[in-house]
Amino acid sequence: MKQTKTVQRVFILGMDGAGNFVQQANTPNLDAWLARGAFTNEAQAELPTISAECWGSILHGVTPDKHGLTNDKVANESYLNDSPYPSLFRLVREQQPEAKLASFTGWSPINSGIIEDNLGVHKVSLPDAELVPALLEYIEENPDIRLLFLQLDEPDGSGHRHGYGEDSPEYLAMISTCDERIGTILNRIEQLGLVEDSLIILLTDHGGGGTEKHNHGSDHPMDRNVFWGCVGPGVKRGRLSGPVSITDTAEVTALALGLTVPEQWDARLPKGLLDDSNSNSDSDSLWESHHG
């Protein structure tokens, strides 16, 4: 019976506003890495398909009507440390106090308004081109990181400027640029020998161009259908056939890190994500569902 390593760390590596247009863009790094795990191009963003609502659900495990985050709110307010809907970072800090936590974002309101303050999270907000070198340096110095989050912002900016969709070459080119940047990170993780005991989640928050060429927010498939993938111990390789929500990212991350999941979370473990051939292996206890 195949044995798997337990997960020592989770990397959530995302780009903003890419939808599932990675299918039309040149994304050799994502293509290669998603093929090493479970993936779908039909995952669902939350409604409305807007950054704060969607990243909020990814990091807090609940739908936007519960976490209440909007672009205006996160730009002006800190997320409450006593909210009944804790972020993944707060969950790790409360249950694993010594864990190293880091968040690197191109859109600074994620760090200031979606992830709680005073948790000892290493937060960096920089333009994408400067963000990736800072992240690479951090990983090399902190291979014992427990949870690391990345949000590259530029696909969304390009969509707003040039239009979203497969007929927008500037937008597709920016997705390709982000693929190169994420590829650099993935290759460094591999060079450092961290892949075997890491869970890597690759995703975006929403798409665009469904009802307005230069915008997003609707329930149109161009806005709502997104790519999502997961690579690591215990994960079954291949295309996921069941429903996946971006909110499920929180459940996958929490269970991989051995955390007790809040009962009020809407996040769930996607069906077919785990490799059944690992029965009685380390991955069983790793992925056992714990709801508080």
Lowest-confidence segment of 86-100, 204-218, 224-238, 265-279 by average pLDDT: 265-279
- What is the pLDDT averaged over residues 24-50? 98
Tens digit of each residue's pLDDT (9 = 90 or more) over 239-269: 999 999 999 999 999 999 999 999 999 999 9
User: How far is it, in rounded angstroms, from Cα 150 to Cα 4?
Assistant: 26
Of 69 and 291, which is predicted with more confidence? 69
Establish if 102 belongs to a structural domain. yes
CATH at residue 174: 3.40.720.10
Q: What is the pLDDT of residue 229?
A: 98
Contacts of 215-220 with C-beta under 8 Å, sequence gap 24+, read 215/160, 216/17, 216/49, 216/50, 216/159, 216/164, 217/48, 217/49, 217/50, 218/48, 218/49, 219/47, 219/49
pLDDT > 70 fraction of the chain, expressed in percent and rounded:
93
- Beta-bridged to residue 150, according to DSSP, are 13, 104
DSSP class of residue 242 equals S
Nearest 10 degrees: Cα torsion 273, 51, 195, 181: 130
Establish if 85 belongs to a structural domain. yes
User: How far is it, in rounded angstroms, from Cα 235 to Cα 37?
Assistant: 6
- What is the pLDDT averaged over residues 22-30? 98
User: How far is it, in rounded angstroms, from Cα 79 to Cα 70?
Assistant: 11
* Interstrand relation of 122-125 and 38-44 (parallel, antiparallel or unpaired): unpaired
Taking 70 as the threshold, does the pLDDT of residue 2 lie above it? no
pLDDT category at 285 given cuts 50, 70, 90 is very low
User: How far is it, in rounded angstroms, from Cα 43 to Cα 233?
Assistant: 21
Establish if 142 belongs to a structural domain. yes
Establish if 7 belongs to a structural domain. no
Find the DSSP H helices in 225-290: 248-256, 282-286
Q: What is the pLDDT of residue 143?
A: 98
- 147 neighbors 102 (Cβ within 8 angstroms): yes
End-to-end distance of the chain based on CA atoms, in angstroms? 31
Mean pLDDT of the chain: 94
**Full residue range of the structural domain in which residue 249 is found:** 12-220+230-268+277-286
Q: What is the pLDDT of residue 275?
A: 83
Domain count of the chain? 1
Closest CA to 250 of 112, 86, 97, 8: 86
pTM of the predicted model, to two decimals?
A: 0.95
Establish if 33 belongs to a structural domain. yes
Closest CA to 192 of 223, 148, 226: 148
Establish if 4 belongs to a structural domain. no
Establish if 112 belongs to a structural domain. yes
Taking 60 as the threshold, does the pLDDT of residue 225 lie above it? yes
Tens digit of each residue's pLDDT (9 = 90 or more) over 128-173: 999 999 999 999 999 999 999 999 999 999 999 999 999 999 999 9
Closest CA to 92 of 237, 289, 256: 256
Taking 80 as the threshold, does the pLDDT of residue 284 lie above it? no
- What is the pLDDT averaged over residues 115-127? 98
Establish if 245 belongs to a structural domain. yes
User: ∠269-274-280 over CA atoms, to 5°?
Assistant: 120
pLDDT > 90 fraction of the chain, expressed in percent and rounded:
92
Taking 60 as the threshold, does the pLDDT of residue 94 lie above it? yes
Q: What's the token pair of residue 167?
A: 């007929």
